């Protein structure tokens, strides 16, 4: 459940490269928004397990959420560079 986040976020640069090749700003925002929605839903699930699962606590849920949001912010900060690289790749391939 928790190691899946890193695997999903590693695919973000590939999605942004494809968005650059397709020259679509909507596709630039879509992957990060989808990961953010998934993170919020997972956070709500962990909060819902507080009191029933032995590992679930509010502090743990906050820790996981903050860690994942920082990682998503770092990846999102790289998105313009990967998008520009994809645009340059599209120009290179079309020539």
CA 39, CA 76: separation in Å to the nearest integer? Answer: 14
Q: Are 93 and 82 in contact (CB under 8 A)?
A: no
Q: Tell me the three state secondary structure of residue 38.
A: helix
Whether 95 is in a domain gets the answer no
User: Could you report the per-residue pLDDT of 46-94, keeping only the tens digit for each?
Assistant: 888 888 888 778 888 888 899 999 999 999 999 999 999 999 999 999 8
CA 14, CA 32: separation in Å to the nearest integer? Answer: 12
Whether 29 is in a domain gets the answer yes
Whether 60 is in a domain gets the answer yes
Residue 22 confidence (pLDDT) above 90: yes
Whether 94 is in a domain gets the answer no
The number of domains in the chain is: 1
Whether 57 is in a domain gets the answer yes
Whether 20 is in a domain gets the answer yes
Whether 46 is in a domain gets the answer yes
Whether 69 is in a domain gets the answer yes
The pLDDT of residue 37: 94
**Alpha-carbon torsion 59, 40, 14, 89, what sign?**
negative
Q: Which domain holds residue 49?
A: 3-89
């Amino acid at each position: 459940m928790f190691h899946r986040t890193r695997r999903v976020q590693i695919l973000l640069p590939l999605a942004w490269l494809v968005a650059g090749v397709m020259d679509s700003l909507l596709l630039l925002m879509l992957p990060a928004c989808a990961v953010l929605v998934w993170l919020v839903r997972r956070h709500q699930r962990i909060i819902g397990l507080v009191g029933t699962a032995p590992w679930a606590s509010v502090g743990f849920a906050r820790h996981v959420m903050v860690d994942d949001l920082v990682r998503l912010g770092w990846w999102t900060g790289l998105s313009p560079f990967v998008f520009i690289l994809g645009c340059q790749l599209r120009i290179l391939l079309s020539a």
